Chains A and B, each alone.
Chain A
Amino acid sequence: MKENASQTPAIELINVSRRFVSPTGKSLTALRDFNMVVEPGEFVAVVGPTGCGKSTTLNLVTGLARPSAGEVRLMGGPVNGIDPRVGFVFQTDALFPWRNVIDNVMAGPLFRGKSHAEATRSARDWLARVGLSRFEQHYPHQLSGGMRKRVSLAQTFINEPEILLMDEPFSALDVQTRTVMHEELLRLWAERKASVIFVTHDLEEAVALADKVYVLTAGPATVKSVYPINLPRPRVVADIRYEPRFIEYCRTIWEDLRDEVEMSYRRASQAA
Chain B
Amino acid sequence: MTDTPLENMAPIFRAGTSDAEIEAAALKAMQRRKQAVLFWRLVILVGILGAWELAANRLWIDPFFYSSPSGIVMRLYEWITEGTAEGSLWFNLWVTMEEALIGFFAGSIAGVLVGIGLGRNQFLSDIFSVYIKAINSIPRVVLAPIFIMIMGLGLASKVALAFIMVFFVVFANAFQGVREADRNMIANARILGASNWQVTRTVIVPSAMSWIFASLHVSFGFAIIGAIVGEFVGARFGIGQLISIAKGTFDAAGMYAAIILVMLVTLLAEMIMTMIETRLAKWRPQQHTDMQ
| B193-A111 in contact (CB<8A) | yes
Known: A96-B203, A111-B198. A155 touches B192 (CB 8 A): yes
**Is A112's beta carbon under 8 Å from chain B?**
yes
Count residues on chain B whose CB falls below 8 Å from chain A CBs.
21
* Given A94-B185, A98-B283, A107-B202 contact (CB < 8 Å): yes
Query: 1/0 per residue B170-205: CB within 8 Å of A?
Result: 000000000000101101111111110010001100
Q: Are B190's CB and A141's CB within 8 A? A: no
Return the chain B residue nearest A88 by Cβ: B191
| Residue contact A107 to B192, C-beta cutoff 8 Å | yes
> What is the count of residue pairs linking A and B with beta-carbon distances less than 8 angstroms?
59
List of B residues within 8 angstroms of A62 by Cβ: 187, 191
- B193 lies within 8 A of A90 (CB): no
Cβ-based interface call for B285 (8 A): yes
Query: Which residues on A are within 8 Å of B, measured CB to CB?
Result: 62, 64, 82, 84, 86-88, 90, 92-100, 107-108, 111-112, 139, 141-142, 155-156, 159
Q: Which of A100, A107, A155, A159 has the most CB of B within 10 A?
A: A107
In the bound complex, residues from chain B placing their C-beta under 8 Å from that of A107 are 189, 192, 194, 202
Which residue from chain A places its CB closest to the CB of B186 in the assembled complex? Answer: A94
Query: Would you mind naming 21 contact pairs between A and B with Cβ atoms under 8 Å apart?
Result: A64-B190, A64-B191, A84-B193, A86-B191, A88-B187, A90-B187, A92-B184, A93-B184, A94-B182, A94-B185, A94-B187, A98-B206, A98-B207, A98-B283, A111-B192, A111-B193, A111-B195, A111-B198, A139-B283, A141-B285, A142-B285
Query: Which B residues, 138 to 191, have Cβ-Cβ distances below 8 Å to chain A?
Result: 182, 184-185, 187-191
With a cutoff of 8 Å between Cβ atoms, the chain B residues found around residue A111 in the complex are: 189, 192-195, 198
| B interface with A by C-beta (< 8 Å) | 182, 184-185, 187-195, 198, 202-203, 206-207, 209, 283-285
CB neighbours (8 Å) of B194 from chain A are 107, 111
8 Å CB contact of B185 from A88, A96, A159: A96
For the complex, give the distance between the alpha carbons of A99 and B207 in Å.
11
